[in-house]
A and B are shown apart, each in its own frame.
Chain A
Amino acid sequence: MALKDIKARIDSTKKTMQITKAMEMVSAAKLNRAEQNAKSFGPYVDKIQEVVGSIASGSNAKHSMLLTRPVKKTGYFVVTADRGLAGAYNSNILRHVYRTIQERHKSADEYALIVIGKVGVNFFKSRKMSILDSITGVADQPSFAEIKAIASKAVGLYADGTFDELYMYYNHFVSAIQSDLTEKKLLPLTDIAATKSKSSYEYEPSEDEILEVLLPQYAESLIYGALLDAKAAEHASRMTAMRNATDNANELIGQLNLSYNRERQAAITQEITEIVGGVAALE
């Protein structure tokens, strides 16, 4: 390679590195915020879980959201990102969901998809799988109001019998370098832990009517919680991906610098040999 070409490659790699470095830092900041959001959501979901648990365990209240019914159609709620450049974040989920659907269902009538994120929407569209509902362009720090519409729609579709169970797929944030693909059965709410409540409540007006309000609110909050979790995982995995890219760029620049210097030295040596040869010829 000519000297000039190597120089150009070094420059362009340096510029790419600047970008990946900036993206890494941005994602790190967003990850911090996302973790905080997840933390401030904690008290809400803990409390609601406690109350739901104490009602569900302390009574024989039967609500359609608590009962398992024969499954004719399954709903899948898939959380992906709007953009790529996040390592295996999107592909992990999408591959898993796709495989699961292929395994479990023979025809397209047996399942329904609800998708968050552009990457997921494009993935299913290109495979000609119909999407029941989707949202894209969710903010990096989503507020509950943003998610409310799709969450209550998902819960509503279960209530009106469009599907008989609802699974949710998202990446669970473990640490900055690890996130776990999570499959969670959202509806019916079968895994409500029978919490040992400290106090047995009076219900005003009745248990059934409280469940009517409480269970949809609970299911929606679970969806929101999963989304916050997924957002944290997204930022973490983008941060890691960008750090790897920066490291790779650094390594590449090192190699290119080496070959640049070698090439330059070779050129100098050759020039000297030529001069020496020329002088020797004159003598």
Chain B
Amino acid sequence: MKTIQVSVVTPDGPVFEGNAKMVSAKAKSGELGILPGHIPLVAPLTISAVRVHDVDGKTQYVAVSGGFIEVRPEKVTILAEAAEIAGDIEVDRARAAKERAEQRLASNKQDNLDAARAEFALKRAMNRIDIATKR
């Protein structure tokens, strides 16, 4: 069976390396499913889960905070500023981050930049909590 190599790389080092029969990710323009032999593609990702369907039929979830995906026929590379495998997510920390972001959102409505940043943080935290429950 044909497989495709998958790696998720962050500035702090590689997070995930492996082979898969299919990778699904959520790009800004919509859901992407990538099979081996896909044409070369670059797309920005949303804050979401990347699902790696491996050869044994199991699915690995990787939380990514945006970034983008680069596809080649034999290899998928995801470059994100932060990424975590579902099993490595610390739920308590994600919850704390979520609360912090909510408080910040509630306290300042005027400052657009801060609000946008807090909203971003909230999204990331919720994404991580979400994915952690799927492992």
Q: Which residues of A contact B (CB under 8 A)?
A: 37, 40-41, 43-45, 47-48, 51, 55, 143-145, 148, 198-205, 209-210, 212-214, 217, 220-221, 224-225
Residue of A nearest to B66 (CB): A213
Residue of B nearest to A221 (CB): B11
Q: Is the CB of B9 within 8 A of A47?
A: yes
Known: A44-B9, A44-B10, A47-B70. A55 touches B42 (CB 8 A): yes
Q: Is the CB of A48 within 8 A of B79?
A: yes
Q: Is the CB of A199 within 8 A of B40?
A: yes
Q: Is the CB of A224 within 8 A of B11?
A: yes
Q: Is the CB of A47 within 8 A of B79?
A: yes
Known: A41-B12, A41-B13, A44-B11. A205 touches B40 (CB 8 A): no
Q: Is the CB of B29 within 8 A of A202?
A: no
How many contacts between A and B, using CB within 8 angstroms? 80
Q: Which residues of A contact B29 (CB under 8 A)?
A: 204-205
Complexed CA–CA distance, A44 and B13 (Å): 7
A213 to chain B, nearest CB (A): 4
Q: Which of B4-41 touch A at CB < 8 Å?
A: 9-14, 27-29, 32, 39-41
B5 to chain A, nearest CB (A): 13
Chain B interface residue bracket vs A: 20 to 34
B44 to chain A, nearest CB (A): 4
Q: Which residues of A contact B66 (CB under 8 A)?
A: 213
Q: Is the CB of B44 within 8 A of A43?
A: no
Q: Is the interface of A mostly helix, strand, loop or mixed?
A: helix
Residue B43 interfacial (CB < 8 Å): yes
Complexed CA–CA distance, A43 and B40 (Å): 19
Contact of A204 among B12, B27, B73 (CB under 8 A): B27
Residue B115 interfacial (CB < 8 Å): no
Known: A144-B82, A214-B68. A51 touches B11 (CB 8 A): no
Complexed CA–CA distance, A145 and B68 (Å): 18
Q: Which residues of B contact A212 (CB under 8 A)?
A: 44
Contact of B39 among A37, A43, A202, A205 (CB under 8 A): A202
Q: Is the CB of B77 within 8 A of A213?
A: no
Q: Which residues of A contact B9 (CB under 8 A)?
A: 43-44, 47
Residue B95 interfacial (CB < 8 Å): no
Complexed CA–CA distance, A249 and B78 (Å): 52
Q: Which residues of B contact A144 (CB under 8 A)?
A: 10-12, 81-82
Residue B123 interfacial (CB < 8 Å): no
Residue of B nearest to A149 (CB): B117
Q: Which residues of B contact A40 (CB under 8 A)?
A: 12-14
Complexed CA–CA distance, A51 and B13 (Å): 18
Complexed CA–CA distance, A43 and B14 (Å): 8
Q: Which residues of B contact A143 (CB under 8 A)?
A: 12
Complexed CA–CA distance, A145 and B80 (Å): 12
Q: Which residues of A contact B79 (CB under 8 A)?
A: 44, 47-48, 51, 217
Residue of B nearest to A46 (CB): B9
Q: Which residues of B contact A145 (CB under 8 A)?
A: 82
